Amino acid sequence: MRKLEQYQPEKQKKGEQTGLISVIVTVYNIREYLPKAVDSILSSTYHNLEVLLIDDGSTDGSERICDEYTKKDERVRVVHQKNGGAYSARNTGLLEAKGDYLTFVDGDDWIEPQMYETLLAAMMEQDADLAVCRYRKIYENRRVDLSTPMAAVFEGQELLAKYLEEDEAWLIQTAVWNKLWKRSLSDGLRFPKSLYEDMYFTIRLLAKSRRSVYLDWAMYNYVCSRTTSTTNIGLNEKTFNDLIPNFYERSAFLREIGREDLALLQDYFLYKRLLLFYTAVCRSQDPKKKEHKAFLQQKIEAGKDCYAAVYGIPQASSQEYRKMKLFLKSPILYRAAMRLNDSFLIPIKVAMANRRQK
């Protein structure tokens, strides 16, 4: 990794913007939000765009809004298809895209005007295959923007490693919408049929990138308040049917490409999550509590032979290892310790913190 101090990529003049960027927007019943998303893209300071609106069988008038934009701006192209889900609409966009560079925008979000010009300029200056920026979280009553002036260049799979570490100082994210990449990077790559299709796609993009650039500037606005958003779904059947299998698939992929070190890192966060999920299920009113506890216990115990290697990596927490060893010794003892923590230790910590603030 090479940090770029006080970095400002040199922007291209309008006549020099020769590389075509395909911006793929998947649309399904988001009439209220769609105009803001599309207008933000069309207002981009980078003008050489192809805006692909993939209407995934909308029934609320979103489909008509898409058609109206083709009359307003020749850069807009619409594809209407039967409802097939987000993965299907995204794959249609990949097939239809003609650009030299690709990116996505969710139809209920919006971008900053300079986003694509800045990302592409950084890619060209640093001879990179992919660029990533931070994003701003938009809630109903507030915005969370943790931008810094930081920028860095990552060689080979260094950015992939940073992504797997889940270090919030580098907000790489699983999502595809805060990234811009060369078309060749995703040739032949498609989204799988899964609620967490980004996980499959992004890890392969990062693994293939020869060089990547990261800009810690929020240039994408992600709306967090919509309860229907897939990223707002909590612990439910999708966790067990889609999310957990995706984590196992990522570990398998990393081993396939010969990165056992990164597979162990992924395994560490997988087993950490399984223990968190187990704790959450125990605390919940889940009608399938018994079934889900048994499922998670089986998954945790199945990995016990590799825990010495998993918890031996530099990123592993000794506290997490102690929690795991207690669980393996006795799930009953683990649950008792959890209840003690909830009813006694946490209130003490909160009280002490309150006293320090006075």
Please report the pLDDT score of residue 229 as a whole number. 42
Q: How confident is the model at residue 232 (pLDDT cuts 50, 70, 90)?
A: very low
- The predicted pLDDT at position 226 comes to 55
The CA-based angle 279-282-285, given to 5 degrees, is 130
For residue 45, give every residue at least 6 positions away whose Cβ sits within 8 Å of its Cβ, in sequence order, or none. Answer: 11, 113, 114, 116, 117
pLDDT at 356: 52
- Inter-residue contact 23 to 104 (CB < 8 Å): yes
Give the pLDDT of residue 210. Answer: 98
What does the buried/exposed string (b/e) look like for 233-260 if buried means 16 or more CB atoms within 10 Å of the residue's CB? beeeeebbebbbebbebbbebbeeeebe
**Do residues 153 and 124 make contact, with C-beta atoms less than 8 angstroms apart?**
no
Residue 243 has pLDDT above 60, yes or no: yes
Tokens of 224: 């967090």
How confident is the model at residue 78, as a pLDDT?
A: 99
User: By the 8 A CB rule, do 130 and 205 touch?
Assistant: yes
How many C-beta neighbours within 10 Å does residue 313 have? 13
Q: Give the pLDDT mean for 331-351.
A: 72
Share of the chain above pLDDT 90, in %: 80
- The predicted pLDDT at position 350 comes to 47
- In this prediction, residue 349 carries a pLDDT of 46
d(CA 72, CA 64): 13
Average pLDDT of the chain to the nearest whole number:
91
CA distance 233 to 43: 31
Which domains, and CATH codes, for the chain?
A: 2-230 (3.90.550.10), 234-357 (no CATH)
Strands 179-182, 110-111: pairing kind = unpaired
Per-residue confidence band for 230, with pLDDT thresholds at 50, 70 and 90:
very low
Q: Higher confidence at residue 283 or residue 157?
A: 157
Task: Kindly give, in sequence order, each residue whose CB lies less than 8 Å from that of residue 134, ignoring residues fewer than 6 positions away.
Answer: 146, 147, 171, 178, 215, 216, 217, 218, 219
DSSP letter string over 54-65?
EEES--SSHHHH
* Spatial CB neighbours of 99, under 8 Å, sequence gap ≥ 6: 19, 20, 21, 22, 50, 183
DSSP 8-state symbol, 15: G
Rounded-to-integer distance, Cα 295 and Cα 278, Å: 9
Which token pair is 106?
């969710």
Give pLDDT tens digits for 103-112.
999 999 999 9
- Give dist(CA 242, CA 195) in Å, integer: 6
Q: Where are the beta strands (DSSP E) in 185-282?
A: 211-223
Q: Which amino acid is at 32?
A: E
Tens digit of each residue's pLDDT (9 = 90 or more) over 283-332: 888 889 999 999 999 999 999 999 999 999 999 999 999 999 999 999 99
If one compares 167 and 27, the residue with the highest pLDDT of the two is 27
Residue 171, both tokens: 């907000």
Strand-pairing partners, residue 152, are 3, 214
Torsion of CA 336, 270, 134, 317, to 10 degrees: 60
Can you name the residues that pair with 214 across neighbouring β-strands?
Answer: 132, 152
Residue 194's pLDDT band (boundaries 50, 70, 90)?
Answer: confident
Contact between 102 and 180 (Cβ < 8 Å): yes
Contact 76, 41 (CB under 8 A): no
